[in-house]
Structure 1
Amino acid sequence: MNTPSPLLSAQGVHVTFPGRHGAPDVRAVDGVDLDVRPGEIVALVGESGCGKTTLARALVGLVEPTAGRIAFDGRPLEYSGRSLKAYRRRVQLVLQDPTGSLNPRHTVYDAVAEGLRIHGHAGDERAAVAGALARAGLRPAERFFLRRPHELSGGQRQRVVIAGALVLEPELLVADEPVASLDASVRGEILALLLRLRAELGLSALVVTHDLGLAWNIADRVAVMYLGRIVETGEVERVLTAPRHPYTRALLSVLPEAPGDPVILAGEPPDPSRIPSGCRFHARCQILAGGEAERAGVAEACRGRDPGILDGSGTAQVACHWASQSGAD
């Protein structure tokens, strides 16, 4: 069976910000390949500060990469105003904080219609707004038209934000922590909505999250990010049931249902202005600290040799000398 061409493709993407007051540059995204295929949901997972939000912003055209290439539907992303406007009609960003995303003075109708007005929609605005609200699960839609954000629950506000993205009939949603600010009871409803939109509309999605449990419930594939790079990727069931990278294992170990004791990572949280030599995880790696890398004969490589950039194809891959040497599974 032929694998469909990616809808969204990042190749060798770097995003670097100048350091303040002479400090080293911040390598927020430090060489990422990532594909999202039509109708696919990919979870981009990692701790705060790993670069996943910066990568998401680059993928929707809000940040121009320092190096590398982003392509959509086979065509390189261009950064002229007209090209970006056309692109953002096809690729929509959904942010984690619906309260911050919505103007408190605007009605729900105006919030959802804003994108149509920016893009010069020529059709029936009222019908388009009502349709988007209904698809987002706010029915009957007309009942919500004149409400303001403070009159809605957190879950309803997130549905309004999603409706504002859907009204432009995009092909891809980039959702940055879409349920992080919601109660547990509402989180499942929003995840079920995203899955329904994929089934009904054929939408693709990149879901940015620190929550591996969320990835398990919604994604086809997962890409685990650490200090500006993807360090493990593959089908979600394979990565989350048989993680190979020590960092993925540590993230999974703290989930409530995980067997054994949680892995407490040593050292300081990552600093993207001071990326270590060798494997960027080696200073915190439980495998290196416990002597297993030494016994496998790869400790020197862990400290001194970069494992390299994983390609974006989504096949099972790991950027780890020990996992590659030992066949860890």
Structure 2
Amino acid sequence: MKDAETDTVRGGPAPDGALDEAGHGARDLGFSASEGSGPGAGGEAAPLLSAERVKVVFPGRRGDAEARAVDGVDLDVRPGEIVALVGESGCGKTTLARSLLGLVTPTAGRVTFDGRPLEYASRALKAYRRRAQLVLQDPSGSLNPRHTVYEAVAEGLRIHGHAGDEQAAVADALSRAGLRPPERFFLRHPHELSGGQRQRVVIAGALVLEPELIVADEPVASLDASVRGEILALLLRLRDELGLSALIVTHDLGLAWNIADRVAVMYLGRIVETGDVERVLTAPRHPYTRALLSVLPESETEPVVLTGEPPDPSRVPGGCRFHARCPVLASGEAERAGVADACRTKDLPVLPGSGPAAVACHWAEAVGAEGS
């Protein structure tokens, strides 16, 4: 079943009108989200959402050490800005996103929204979640199979005591999400829709409350390649039309390449590189970012195969937390730069939540200092 409306990623369609099998294909045509004119592009407004030294620690089982899922993170999202939070599975990015929405209470640090610290009383969280909405990865799991599309989208209005015209609000949200005419979808059930249409219903359920921020956790991971570009283009259009801010949580740097204004690369509970997406992804400084980029289909460099698995968050290594898998350290480049010992023993600072590009890497800092 074809989606009701076809969008293309900003600047034009990918080859053959779709992204490739991995969901990429925009930047090689010479355009990018960061080149757009959305409110977040190039602005220096005060953050709408901000994490300040946030830590989330989970207790160990049967005497095991605590798991430091998020281990000191600063991260800002400005009004109208799309930020991609990128990293492997298990790096802590989903836990960080849930803490930003008040679904997980930080062990330390704080989250602020619109300049005010997030409060965790139920009434305060209810008010906050009207302004900040979550879009989950799997639309099939997000939608009750017994509910119609209308009921799914109207649910948020009913929870929050919407006093206006419910039907008009639902129709407007479905229309904005690309399901037109909206009345045609009111009485349908999730099994009657395509995967892309179900994801649009989930997005409409978030939009119906007119939020200022959307946190989308792997929003296209479960979709066919032919539909991914449409959903990414929809998110870009919502940013441009509504001034909507978004935090996109993903393992895929190719997705960040297509949609984000800024990118934050996360490894083992920390942000290791951050900055404008164009700068970070065309001139990555951290060996981990380089490794993630090297395996994209568009990459012209030899793929970097990292040895081993990410360390257990209950056993975070000393020094740079990436050093056990770092190809720069293994190849002797860090030794030649005089930072091998620091890589193994010296911790790195928490990177700023916004501002210029920044990297948490002893070798990158040493090489940068030599070249300056």
Q: TM-score range by the shorter chain?
A: over 0.9
Give the equivalent residue in structure 2 for 1:148: 189
1:63 matches 2:104: yes
Counterpart amino acid of 1:195? Answer: L
Asked if the contact 2:93–2:249 (Cα under 8 Å) also holds between the matched residues in 1, the reply is yes
**After superposition, where does 1:120-135 map in structure 2 within 5 Å?**
120-135=161-176
Q: CA deviation at 1:311?
A: 1.1
Indicate the residue corresponding to 1:227 in structure 2.
Answer: 268
1:142-165 Cα shifts (integer Å, max 9, x gaps): 000010000000000000000000
> What letter matches 2:189 in structure 1?
R
Distance apart, 1:266 and its partner CA: 1.5
Q: Which amino acid aligns with 2:235?
A: L
Cα-to-partner distance string for 1:284-325 (whole Å, 9 max, x where unaligned): 000000000000000000000011110112420000000001
**Deviations 1:116-163, CA, capped at 9 Å, x for gaps:** 000000000000000000000000000000100000000000000000
Question: Does structure 2 conserve the Cα–Cα contact (< 8 Å) formed by 1:49 and 1:270?
Answer: no
Q: How does 1:4-153 map to 2 (within 5 A)?
A: 4-153=45-194
Alpha-carbon distance change, 2 to 131 in structure 1, aligned in 2, over 3 angstroms: closer
Corresponding residue number in structure 2 for 1:195:
236
Alignment gaps of 5+ in structure 1: none
Indicate the residue corresponding to 2:316 in structure 1. 275
- The within-5 A match list for 1:244-283 is 244-283=285-324
Q: Is the 8 A contact 2:72 2:269 kept in 1?
A: yes
Gaps of 5+ in 2: 1-41
Q: Which SS does the other structure have where 1:182 is aligned? A: coil
CA drift of 1:2 comes to: 7.6
Q: Which residue of 1 aligns with 2:16?
A: none
Q: Tell me the SS of whatever aligns to 2:303.
A: coil
Match of 1:291 in 2: 332
Quick one: distance in 2 between partners of 1:260 and 1:53?
Answer: 29
Contact 1:15/1:30 (CA < 8 Å) preserved in 2? yes
RMSD: 1.1
- Count of residues in Structure 1 that have an aligned counterpart in Structure 2: 329
Once the two structures are TM-superposed, the CA of residue 19 in structure 1 deviates from its matched residue by: 0.8
Residue matched to 2:251: 210
Given that 2:307 and 2:325 are in contact with CA atoms closer than 8 Å, whether structure 1 keeps it comes out as: yes
Q: What is the distance in 2 between the residues matched to 1:298 and 1:68?
A: 30
Asked whether the equivalents of residues 48 and 115 of structure 2 are also in contact (C-alpha less than 8 Å), the reply is: yes
Conserved? CA contact 1:7–1:37, under 8 Å: yes
SS of aligned partner of 1:233? strand
2: CA distance between counterparts of 1:270 and 1:170?
Answer: 37
Residue 315 (1) aligns with residue 356 (2):
yes
**Map of 1:305 onto structure 2:** 346
Counterpart position of 2:38: none
Check whether the contact 1:113–1:129 (CA below 8 A) recurs between aligned residues.
yes
Alpha carbons 2:144, 2:152 under 8 Å: kept: yes
* Residue type at the aligned position of 1:64: T
Counterpart Cα distance in 2 of 1:203 and 1:74 = 17
Q: Report the equivalent of 2:24.
A: none
Structure 2 letter corresponding to 1:37: R
Please state whether the residue corresponding to 2:112 is helix, strand or coil.
strand
1:101-121 per-residue CA deviation (whole Å, 9 max, x = no partner) reads 000000000000000000000
Q: C-alpha separation between the residues in 2 aligned to 1:232 and 1:185?
A: 31
Q: What whole-Å deviation, never above 9, does each CA across 1:32-78 have from its counterpart, x for those lacking one?
A: 00000000000000000000000010011100000001000000000
Partner of 2:11: none
CA contact (8 A) 2:268 2:310 kept: no
Identity %: 82
Q: Secondary structure at the match of 1:195?
A: helix
Q: Which runs of at least 4 in structure 1 moved beyond 4 Å after TM superposition?
A: none
Secondary structure in 1 aligned to 2:62?
Answer: helix
Aligned to 2:227: 186
Deviation of 1:256 after TM superposition, in Å, equals 1.0
Contact between 2:265 and 2:289, CA under 8 Å: does it hold in 1?
yes
Correspondence for 1:173? 214
| Cα pair distance change 1:208/1:2, threshold 3 Å | closer
